[in-house]
């Protein structure tokens, strides 16, 4: 079985690697629970769902990984979009208060950051989060000097699951999709990366694994300490070394 699965975990087809892209929410940090609590608070205050608190299944199905516009449409299909977005913005204010206090990185994140740094790869954060949220999270995680570009879905023609944000990241960093890979935790994010022609490693931090695989993830990891990831990165390093040897 292991031999059957190994090709699916391989990233060697993208050598030489030029860049690594990261989503933010749920990928750099386990922020979805903070968003969920903030949504519960604001929705309860307006009497949403007759005051019954939204559960995690509802949050994942209708909100997680989506742009503000898509979340507003899912939550309030009969409302004017601007009215729905105002509720989302209220949620964001509460989220930022919590995130500024207790935001934590996904396990093993800084080991991967170091791996990227040591190889001199280009890197971008690509997110559907509003810029104010994205910059807060990146700063809180101590990564403000790490990312060379921060691409915001709402600042593109279309947000994820459209490939536009990832296509913009490729353009800004002047790299090829054939030599780039992505870390993502949501179905919409994975679909966006795949549509841009870039292989995606899915983080199964919160969202159902089957939905991530159906979206087209190359393989899934539990977090950045997952042995599957480091096996793939080691294989990638070996393939890079052989390529350099061949071209020497």
- Each domain of the chain, given as residue ranges in start order, spans 2-30+106-247, 32-102
- Confidence class of residue 4 from pLDDT cuts 50, 70 and 90? very low
Architecture of domain 32-102: Orthogonal Bundle (1.10)
Give buried/exposed letters for 38-51 (b at 16+ CB in 10 A, else e).
bbbebbeeeebeee
Could you check whether 2-30+106-247 and 32-102 share the same CATH topology?
no
For 9-38, how does the pLDDT look when each residue is reduced to its tens digit (9 = 90+)? 789 999 999 999 999 999 999 898 899 999
- Confidence class of residue 206 from pLDDT cuts 50, 70 and 90? confident
> Is 223 marked active-site?
no
- Confidence class of residue 50 from pLDDT cuts 50, 70 and 90? confident
pLDDT at 248: 78
Report how far apart, in Å, the C-alpha atoms of 97 and of each of 93, 153, 192, 215 are. 7, 22, 29, 32
Q: How many residues are there in the chain?
A: 248
Which of 82, 59, 56, 52 is closest to 69 using CA atoms? 82
- Domain 2-30+106-247 matching CATH 3.40.1280.10: the answer reads no
For 171-196, how does the pLDDT look when each residue is reduced to its tens digit (9 = 90+)? 999 999 999 999 999 999 999 999 99
pLDDT at 8: 60
- Confidence class of residue 6 from pLDDT cuts 50, 70 and 90? very low
Q: Which member of 23, 32, 68, 185 is catalytic?
A: 23
This prediction's pTM? 0.88
Q: Which member of 4, 25, 30, 226 is catalytic?
A: 25
Answer whether 138's CB lies under 8 Å from 25's CB: no
For 140-176, how does the pLDDT look when each residue is reduced to its tens digit (9 = 90+)? 999 999 999 999 999 999 999 999 999 999 999 999 9
Mention every residue, 6+ apart, whose C-beta is less than 8 A from residue 151.
124, 125, 126, 127, 165, 166, 168, 169, 172
Distance CA(237)–CA(109), nearest Å, equals: 19
> Is 226 marked active-site?
no
Answer whether 143's CB lies under 8 Å from 28's CB: yes
Rg (CA), the chain: 18
Q: What is the mean pLDDT of the chain?
A: 93
């Amino acid at each position: 079985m292991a031999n059957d699965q190994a090709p699916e975990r391989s990233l060697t087809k993208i050598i030489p690697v030029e860049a690594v892209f990261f989503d933010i929410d749920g990928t750099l940090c386990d922020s979805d629970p903070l968003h969920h609590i903030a949504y519960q608070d604001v929705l309860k205050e307006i009497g949403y769902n007759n005051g019954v608190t939204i559960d995690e299944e509802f949050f994942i199905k209708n909100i997680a990984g989506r742009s503000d516009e898509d979340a507003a449409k899912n939550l309030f299909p009969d409302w004017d979009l601007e009215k729905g977005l105002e509720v989302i913005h209220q949620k964001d204010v509460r989220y930022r208060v919590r995130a500024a206090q207790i935001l934590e990185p996904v396990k093993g994140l800084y080991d991967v950051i170091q791996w990227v740094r040591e190889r001199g790869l280009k890197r971008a954060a690509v997110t559907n989060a509003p810029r104010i949220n994205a910059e807060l999270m990146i700063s809180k995680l101590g990564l403000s000097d790490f990312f060379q570009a921060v691409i915001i879905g709402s600042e593109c023609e279309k947000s994820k699951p459209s490939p536009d944000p990832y296509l913009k990241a490729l353009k800004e960093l002047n790299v090829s999709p054939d030599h780039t890979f992505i870390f993502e935790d949501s179905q919409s994010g994975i679909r966006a990366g795949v549509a841009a022609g870039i292989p995606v490693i899915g983080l199964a931090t919160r969202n159902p694994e089957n939905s991530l695989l159906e979206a087209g993830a190359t393989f899934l990891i539990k977090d950045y300490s997952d042995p599957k990831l480091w096996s793939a990165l080691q294989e990638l390093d070996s393939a890079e070394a052989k390529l350099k040897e061949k071209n020497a």
